[in-house]
Structure 1
């Protein structure tokens, strides 16, 4: 589980979020995200959104605080990660599903729910 928690942290880092090659290594081809806004995105849409997000050049827009990071095994080769995010005062409760593949751990699903 420690490896998956480290990958979750990496995925939220500005360096990973602006590196399409690394994102394609971390996110499964069938990746789906339900954002804190309630919108649903697929892998290609997320890659485009993250490319636009990092377009400001300094990466500061990507800074995401992580709190209460924890994980649990749901089934062999499937880990759920739970944590709270804080990005410029916008907080959300988040969950991700990671699956062990022949190419290592890959995130298949992510969801964020706004916190007051």
Structure 2
């Protein structure tokens, strides 16, 4: 069942926001601390990333402001696992994101970003 109560999943919410911040993205050790060893991502471009490649790419990313997020939803999908979805709005573009988190840690197992096409 989808839930919008962030307080119930505060640690996951804060970890997801941390991974959007330049402070974490530019620090490989900090980034790795949030990602499962077998982490995978499908980026907005459709590219598949694995942990080591994503960490290396993020380290060289220019610093930026934390993106505007909204429409947070949480769905417990199994023991100790929650599926999180939310929307990011950056200037003229928007994207929807989904992340699979282990609650213990929390540790990110999988992430996908999908561009929102204007009607």
Q: Work out whether residues 44 and 113 of structure 2, in 8 Å CA contact, stay in contact via their aligned partners in 1.
A: yes
Q: Work out whether residues 28 and 56 of structure 2, in 8 Å CA contact, stay in contact via their aligned partners in 1.
A: no
In the alignment, which residue of structure 2 is the partner of 1:36?
44
SS at match of 2:46: coil
Q: 2:98 aligns with which of 86, 95, 100?
A: 95
- Paired with 1:8 and 1:32, the residues of 2 have a C-alpha distance of 15
SS at match of 1:36: coil
- Paired with 2:28 and 2:92, the residues of 1 have a C-alpha distance of 26
SS at match of 2:60: helix
RMSD between aligned alpha carbons? 1.4
Deviation at residue 17 of structure 1 after TM alignment: 1.0
Count of residues paired in the alignment:
109
The structure with the greater share of residues assigned to strand is 1
| Structure 2 unpaired stretches of 5+ | 1-8
The answer on 1:52 being equivalent to 2:63 is no
**Which portions of structure 1, spanning 4 or more consecutive aligned residues, are displaced by more than 3 angstroms?**
none
- Paired with 1:12 and 1:79, the residues of 2 have a C-alpha distance of 18
- Paired with 2:22 and 2:90, the residues of 1 have a C-alpha distance of 12
In the alignment, which residue of structure 2 is the partner of 1:67?
70
Normalised TM-score (structure 1): 0.86
| Structure 1 unpaired stretches of 5+ | none
SS at match of 2:45: coil
Q: Work out whether residues 63 and 87 of structure 1, in 8 Å CA contact, stay in contact via their aligned partners in 2.
A: no
In the alignment, which residue of structure 2 is the partner of 1:6?
14
Normalised TM-score (structure 2): 0.84
- Paired with 2:35 and 2:91, the residues of 1 have a C-alpha distance of 25
